[in-house]
Amino acid sequence: MASLIDISPVIDAAIHVWPGDTPFVRTINLDMNAGANLTLSDIRTTVHVGAHTDAPSHYLANGADVASRDLEFYIGACNVIHVDVARGARIYPRDVKAVLTAPRVLFRTGTFPDPRNWNDDFASLSPELVDDLHARGVILIGIDTPSVDPFESKALEAHQAFGRNDMAILEGLVLDGVEEGEYELIALPLRIQGADGSPVRAVLRSR
């Protein structure tokens, strides 16, 4: 039986979200430990918490919401690729040495090592890389950082490249200890009507 590798961070009150966005809060409304007949809670947070996907409506005017996205983006063969880039750098096609064998690519940069200790200088994607991978048949790109664009970017050039190529994004992955190679990716978003993104429980299955 193939083993599963969880590549999602634990979501709790300690996880960081994008500065200025809504942090994660879980409220316990009924508690069996306090004598209730069941435990019941609610949560409040950004849809971009932890491992998540951005819907086109996050970065394109009149873009599709997350409930409209084709689930084929988020399940199937993928390559995990290690890239050696400096903190704050964008990844360019020249930085990708591995041979692609799957239509989904996850980049391990190691530049955002702890979701509970925010750093602005994480690596990101260049629009040239997004265009290049699209031309090579890639339909989804994921990364182990909070964004496919640099922290200070307002133009969101990589996001725009995803938009014009109709590709899917995964951000906030945890790829520490995951070896390069081909896996099966399972990272389905919630079917939230109108939402600009969704958390995912991202896992890899060894092939």
Strand order in the sheet with 75-82: 4-6, 203-206, 181-186, 75-82, 104-108, 140-143, 168-170
CB 141 within 8 Å of CB 107:
yes
Give the separation between CA 74 and CA 51, rounded to whole angstroms: 12
52 is catalytic: no
Given 52, 58, 82, 159, the catalytic residue? 58
What's the first-to-final CA gap in the chain, in angstroms? Answer: 10
The two tokens of residue 109 are: 């940069």
Q: What residues are annotated to the active site?
A: 58
